């Protein structure tokens, strides 16, 4: 599964002025268009399955940005606009976020995040920041549409702890998969 296919269309109007007032900057045009096009009213995360023995939920695969050969990253979570602005309020005094005008839109598995450049030459660019890396704030895509189009959900049966994908099913109204014995 690759690209924008896993996102649902936005069905409600978004008042970007509200979010811009919180962060004190204008949200870049491509980011506005993206969030107006796709529904992020709830955090998007990798599909999960419920393990009946461990009585816990686990990811069924990895959401990866394949174009990064040097830094193969997996997204843990894509944030809602409310989470994005709350994170900004909490982190705005940190040098990387405020000085570089970066707005985090997703968390990654190795510590760090995916950011949108808010001003100047990085406006609308997607930036990778790995906290423990010597290289920081690396532009990886020209805009959020290209970035999401480059994401791929890699299914990996090893992440199912001995089960097979053919054993998974979903009950009506549940947001996770179950294992059929």
Residue with tokens 């053919």: 166
What SS3 state is found at 96?
helix
pLDDT digits (tens, 9 = 90+) for 120-155: 888 999 998 887 878 778 888 999 999 888 888 777
Q: Is 103 exposed, middle or buried (0-12, 13-18, 19+ CB in 10 A)?
A: buried
Query: What is the model's pTM?
Result: 0.78
Record: fold of 3-179: SMI1/KNR4-like (3.40.1580)
pLDDT in tens, 54-71: 888 877 877 777 666 556
Domains in the chain: boundaries = 3-179
CA distance 158 to 160: 5
Where is pLDDT greater, at 161 or 41? 161
What per-residue string of b and e applies to 70-95 under the rule 16 or more CB within 10 Å gives b?
Answer: eeebbbbbbbbbebbbebbeeeeeee
Buried b or exposed e, range 142-171, using 16+ CB within 10 angstroms: ebbbebbebbbbeeeeeebeebeeeebeee
């Amino acid at each position: 599964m690759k690209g924008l296919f896993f996102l649902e269309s936005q069905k409600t109007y978004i008042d970007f002025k509200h979010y811009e007032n919180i962060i004190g900057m204008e949200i870049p045009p491509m980011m506005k268009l993206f969030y107006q096009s796709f529904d992020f009213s709830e955090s998007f995360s990798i599909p999960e399955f419920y393990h009946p023995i461990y009585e816990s939920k686990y990811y069924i695969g990895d959401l990866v940005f394949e174009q990064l050969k040097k830094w193969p990253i997996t997204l843990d979570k894509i944030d809602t606009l409310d989470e994005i602005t709350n994170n900004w309020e909490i982190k705005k005094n940190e040098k990387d976020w405020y000085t570089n005008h970066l707005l985090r839109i997703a968390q990654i598995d190795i510590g760090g995040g995916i950011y949108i450049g808010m001003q100047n030459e990085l406006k609308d660019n997607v930036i990778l920041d790995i906290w423990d890396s010597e290289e920081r704030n690396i532009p990886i895509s020209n805009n959020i549409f290209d970035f999401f189009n480059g994401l791929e959900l890699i299914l990996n049966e090893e992440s199912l702890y001995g089960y097979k994908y053919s054993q998974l099913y979903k009950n009506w109204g549940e947001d996770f998969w179950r294992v059929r014995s």
